[in-house]
Amino acid sequence: MERENVLIPQADLDRQREFEEKIRGLFAAREAHPAACVDTFGCQQNVADGQKLMGMLEASGFTLTQDPKEADLVLLNTCAIREHAEDRVFGNLGALTHTKKENPEQVICLCGCMAQEPRVSERIKKSYPHVDLVFGPQALWKFPELLWQVYETKKRVFSVQDEHGTIAEGIPVVREKGVKAWVSIMYGCNNFCSYCIVPYVRGRERSRDPRAVLAEVRQLVEAGYKDITLLGQ
């Protein structure tokens, strides 16, 4: 797959920054200080995705918390490889009915590989009405726009279409403190192994521009990171 065919145009990425500003303005008008809880399951690629999601939330005016009871937004970033991980996610979603009852304005989101599976998204639609936003890995880059739709329409939003894989550069990132950092160099997979769901939920294989990877690594080194892991599927 040619890289230029999957690279998200800069204008589309800039538009997401505008939605972040809209969300910030929404809470500023309420004189509110929203908190978000991001819970990530699965592989290191999911961890890297979670750091981008936290980056977009911070850019939208949220502070981060590890306690869903304190959160105005809870996001479960899921994995579809192991059944045990799926069971934990559904259990956590069930428990969030209590936090939403205490805070009816709380927004609950489900994303990641599980969310991209049709059987899961249909189950969420029918059995988990308190979940407000569901989107797959291909829609991660437009999370601010999807979240704005939830706030603006006060309706549930699902973005789980069978899209081809993309590459989005320049998404804000919140990294763990310390010396370790993750850097994705490619996404998706072309090997349709019988036991693996990755090509179906993360799309076909595509690689980042080496110059973008080198620029990110240099920035990390300048920021003091010393143990950098390159991620692929």
The tens digit of pLDDT for each residue in 105-121 reads 999 999 999 999 999 99
Residue 79 gets which letter from DSSP? Answer: -
* The Cα angle at residue 153 between residues 113 and 142, in degrees rounded to 5: 35
Percent of the chain with pLDDT over 90: 82
Give all domains of the chain, ordered by start, each with its CATH number.
3-170 (3.40.50.12160)
- Residue 52 above 50 pLDDT? yes
- Residue 232 above 80 pLDDT? yes
- Residue holding tokens 């145009």? 9
Instruction: Output the six-digit token pair for 65.
Output: 């918390």
Nearest to 167 by CA among 139, 208, 216, 217: 208
